[in-house]
Amino acid sequence: MQVFDAIRLRARLIIGPVLGISLVVYFAYHLVQGDRGLIAWLRLTQQIDEARTTLLLDDGRLAVIVKKTRPGLNAKDLGDQLRVDAERYRSRDRATTLLCFMYDPEGRIGNPRGLEASLTSVNESFMIDVLVAPK
């Protein structure tokens, strides 16, 4: 009988801390690894940054990409992003026309008409049209 009383007494002393530690470990794991954890949030943020804003109209095979200038993002960077996006749509055969609208409210693009002319291209299977506004 004394053995069972000793076990019961020690179990009461152990169960609380073990349960507490288990809960802390459970919540810490799901804070980092869960569906809404930090890793998932970082992955989603990266996907949003990569995608920018894209609208794909399958019937007409038209993809519309919207980009906005910001500090540290110059015309060369915008052109590089557009080339990457165009290659992605061209290689996956998802669109035949890519319309890119670049919103430049602060006038960071020095020569918007020149940028439009240099990035607009037409060939047999794929067309890229660029519009920068306001000019």
- Residue carrying structure tokens 């801390």: 17
Contact 124, 97 (CB under 8 A): no
For the stretch 22-61, pLDDT in tens is: 999 999 998 888 888 899 888 887 776 665 556 777 777 8
- Residue carrying structure tokens 């179990």: 11
The whole-angstrom distance between residue 12's C-alpha and the CA centroid of its chain comes to 49
Top-ranked range on mean pLDDT: pick from 4-13, 53-62, 122-131: 122-131
Q: What is the largest CA-CA distance in the chain?
A: 93
Higher per-residue confidence, 59 vs 88: 88
Lowest mean pLDDT among 68-77, 108-117, 126-135: 68-77
Which residues, at least 6 apart from 133, have a Cβ–Cβ distance to it below 8 Å?
A: 101, 102, 103, 104, 112
Q: How far apart are CA 55 and CA 84, in angstroms?
A: 16
> What is the mean predicted confidence (pLDDT) over 115-120?
92
pLDDT at 95 over 70: yes
